[in-house]
Structure 1
Amino acid sequence: MDSEYSDSYDMYWGTLGTVRPFSNFHPDRDVTEIVTALENKDTVTLLRIITNRNNAQRQVIAQVFQELTHKDIVTALKKALSGDLELLLLELLMPPVEYEAYRLQEAMAGLGTDEETLAEILSTRSGKQLQNISAAYKEMYEKDLQKEIESETSKDFEKLLKALLNKGCVTGVVQTDIETLSASLKGKKAEAGQWIDILTSRDLEHLDNVLMGLELELGQTVDQIIEKRFSGDFRLGLKILVQCIQNRDAYLATRLKTMKKEIVQRIMVSHSEEDLLCIRAAFIKLTGTSLYTTLQNHFKGDYLQALLAICRSED
């Protein structure tokens, strides 16, 4: 690695992500190769470099590209590439916080709203991460994320998403919370408020104990309880939140199992440096087949090679 960049990276080789810092990182050399690859539409070289550098290193490459060519690397890639591969490489070049803000914006753009993606992101990110994502959203789109959620959702689902966006960590008593949730189900219409309040304001260990206790008390899984007592978007959002509390990796593996291109791409990019190894393990447990092999059965060409590079290896 060039000495001027060596202090910019923490080499956390114990990460649960699949994409890690490239140990022999020379951004000037990378940029020279990228410039030639763009001229020749050499996708193999572009894939090799961009998928084998972590995001912090990609940001340095983008900066050095600007300095050496006086051009924006995103604009250059758009001119040289097209289709699915172009979009994937552009997403890999986005800083992580901006990428999550982008995902939220995409979920609310156009005529329909992607409720599951909204719930997925807000349920799998910490309060601190969501604060940073909200700030990035404001800077990128000149809009307030909470107000956008209010305009795109309604009723109890809106309340749940807003509570998740502003999640804190309030100390609670496990048995008291179990009793509160149980009592909320005894009326003709189940009360959503207690579920929103408790499930968005306690730490994960506490909530896991609450949900296990509730299942023992009622003799049903929490998923079954929610399915019977709630409806609509709120039921969907609550089920996602509960699944993420109980086993986030298993929930994300279930999402990947659909093999829908947009879902697969965005979860893999989003979690590539954080916990994709855990999600891979959950995927093979869920399906009996590795994520690496499953990708090969559903995609092809340069786009497949890019996904495989992010996935990294067979399990």
Structure 2
Amino acid sequence: MRSTATSSFRGLYPPIETFHEEYLNVSDGHKLYVEQSGNPNGIPVIFLHGGPGGGTSPTQRRFFDPQKFHIILFDQRGCGKSEPHASLENNTTWDLIKDIEAIREHLNIEKWAVFGGSWGSTLALLYAIVHPERTNALILRGIFLMRERELDWFYGGGTGALFPEEWSRFKNTIPHHEHNDLIAAYHTRLTSDQIPQKEQLMYAKEWSLWEASTVTLNPDQHSRTLSVDPRFALAFARIEAHYFKNKGFLDNSNYILDNCHKLQGIPITLVQGRYDAICPPVSAYELAKEMPWTTLKIVPVAGHSAFEPAITHELICATDDL
């Protein structure tokens, strides 16, 4: 395990266009937006976005050398360009793992590298635990293990102690008597048929804005603006609340740490911001302790976002090293 200390940061690769886009029919009426870019004969790598419910963007292609990598992005169930939009039906962690395998089989890829941040790191770890034989390498950022204590940190006041003005707005949107479980309170308002759509959208924007307000070390107006886009916010908030209310659909809160020994032999790089207020470094540290073959890179001056310069630098270096 080592810390990053560099004054010259690598930046994202130049923008690139896709060479193929499609909708893949998977189970239960869901259609996934899947795109490919880079070198079709290169090293296959699949990008797993955050949230759950965050969707992908063209910028995320740029973490990879387009001459070296066959870059695959997809929007998970219910978000981004995938259909039906904001759907919670048959939308669980285990459905997503099956979807990743469906994409791999559809593209006739034997093994690939898996790249994910935040919830994408959770999903990447779980996918690799279930399918280690299909995983060449893991590059993970902003480690989130879907433990109850991590949810309590972000939705129970831990992050709120660092961002008190944003926390006050997020918390006080809900009546005081429900403050003991804000995930459940928002979940009800985001999913109940008794709540008018306009009101659901208001709660969705509040949920989304809370996360966007805490994602970077320095305030990021672009993230805040994107977070309240109606289409984005509705999918993001509904799907996140759905997953978090159900504790990620895992058997127990320690599921990943209990099963990560199954990843023995897979090269793994963890990139973690020292001042990540959403996913504090303790989770990355504890995961690396359970997997001593892992490379843990603590970035001294960074929060949670993949697009903070020092985080981007370490992710680019990690992909280049594959």
TM-score normalised by the chain length of structure 1: 0.26
- More strand as a share of residues: 2
Bigger CA radius of gyration: 1
Structure with the largest fraction of helix: 1
